[in-house]
């Protein structure tokens, strides 16, 4: 409920603190919503357009025209329905994508200015400033140690697996 209240406020919370992490978070939220909006433009909405043609009664009109053997009316109605389906699906997909994009941009901006989340992001940036990052030599040696231990453990598990397979085959389980 607090988040809903925060979404409709127009103030920025501690704008000068935690700038980098807050901007990166906002951009991440934007990318998430914009990806969803882009996906909406590539979906098939003909089912919704078909539902609308049913809702408007065009399917009933088409059925009545087919039963009456009115070929001209059937062709006209079919052309109208096909034109509606094509344009409706296109307009709906881009309208939905636009609405999702606008909401995502607004949500990302308001999320980083929500007091609770803003304080969290400010403290994250403060803690990240305290981290001592390794130098190139230390990073290289640590990577070698980690990969060596990984390969050693993988080899040990492989040998244990071979032993267990041999054992189970010798007693006839496998």
What local confidence, expressed as pLDDT, does residue 149 receive?
98
Domain hosting residue 106, numbered range: 2-131
**Do 123 and 164 sit in the same domain of this protein?**
no
Region for 46 from its dihedrals, namely left if φ exceeds 0, alpha if ψ lies in -120 to 50, beta otherwise: alpha
CA distance 158 to 174: 18
Number of Cβ atoms within 10 Å of the Cβ of 35: 12
What local confidence, expressed as pLDDT, does residue 75 receive?
77
What local confidence, expressed as pLDDT, does residue 69 receive?
75
What local confidence, expressed as pLDDT, does residue 38 receive?
92
What local confidence, expressed as pLDDT, does residue 77 receive?
75
CA distance 100 to 97: 5
Q: What is the dihedral of CA 136, 138, 144, 148, to 10 degrees?
A: -160
Q: Helices (DSSP H) in the chain: which residue ranges?
A: 2-7, 19-40, 46-56, 58-67, 71-112, 115-130, 136-170
**Do 103 and 49 sit in the same domain of this protein?**
yes
What local confidence, expressed as pLDDT, does residue 93 receive?
84
What local confidence, expressed as pLDDT, does residue 1 receive?
67
What local confidence, expressed as pLDDT, does residue 138 receive?
94
**Do 61 and 140 sit in the same domain of this protein?**
no
CA distance 22 to 172: 62
What local confidence, expressed as pLDDT, does residue 63 receive?
75
CA distance 10 to 12: 7
**Do 9 and 84 sit in the same domain of this protein?**
yes
CA distance 70 to 78: 12
Per run of 10 residues, the mean pLDDT along the chain (length 174 residues) is 70 74 90 92 77 75 74 75 77 89 90 83 87 91 97 97 94 84
**Do 144 and 64 sit in the same domain of this protein?**
no
**Do 117 and 149 sit in the same domain of this protein?**
no
**Do 90 and 158 sit in the same domain of this protein?**
no
Give which of 61, 64, 58 is closest to 81, Cα–Cα.
Answer: 58
**Do 37 and 118 sit in the same domain of this protein?**
yes
Number of domains in the chain: 2
**Do 140 and 127 sit in the same domain of this protein?**
no
**Do 116 and 160 sit in the same domain of this protein?**
no
**Do 161 and 121 sit in the same domain of this protein?**
no
Spell out the residues 6+ positions from residue 23 whose beta carbon is closer than 8 angstroms to its own. Answer: 112
CA distance 110 to 45: 31
What local confidence, expressed as pLDDT, does residue 13 receive?
73
**Do 140 and 165 sit in the same domain of this protein?**
yes
What local confidence, expressed as pLDDT, does residue 172 receive?
86
pTM score: 0.60
What local confidence, expressed as pLDDT, does residue 3 receive?
67
């Amino acid at each position: 409920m607090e988040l809903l209240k925060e979404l409709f406020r127009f103030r920025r919370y501690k704008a000068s603190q935690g700038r980098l992490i807050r901007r990166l978070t906002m951009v991440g939220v934007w990318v998430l919503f914009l990806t969803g909006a882009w996906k909406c433009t590539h979906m098939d909405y003909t089912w919704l357009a078909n539902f609308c043609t049913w809702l408007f009664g065009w399917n009933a009109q088409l059925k009545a025209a087919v039963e009456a053997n009115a070929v001209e009316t059937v062709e006209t109605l079919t052309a109208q329905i096909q034109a509606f389906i094509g344009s409706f699906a296109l307009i709906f997909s881009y309208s939905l994508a636009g609405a999702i994009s606008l909401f995502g941009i607004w949500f990302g901006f308001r999320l980083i200015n929500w007091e609770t989340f803003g304080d969290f992001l400010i403290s994250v940036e403060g803690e990240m400033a305290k981290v001592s990052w390794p130098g190139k030599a230390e990073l290289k040696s640590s990577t070698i140690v980690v990969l060596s231990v990984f390969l050693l453990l993988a080899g040990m598990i492989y040998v244990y697996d071979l032993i267990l397979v041999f054992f189970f085959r010798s007693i006839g389980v496998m």
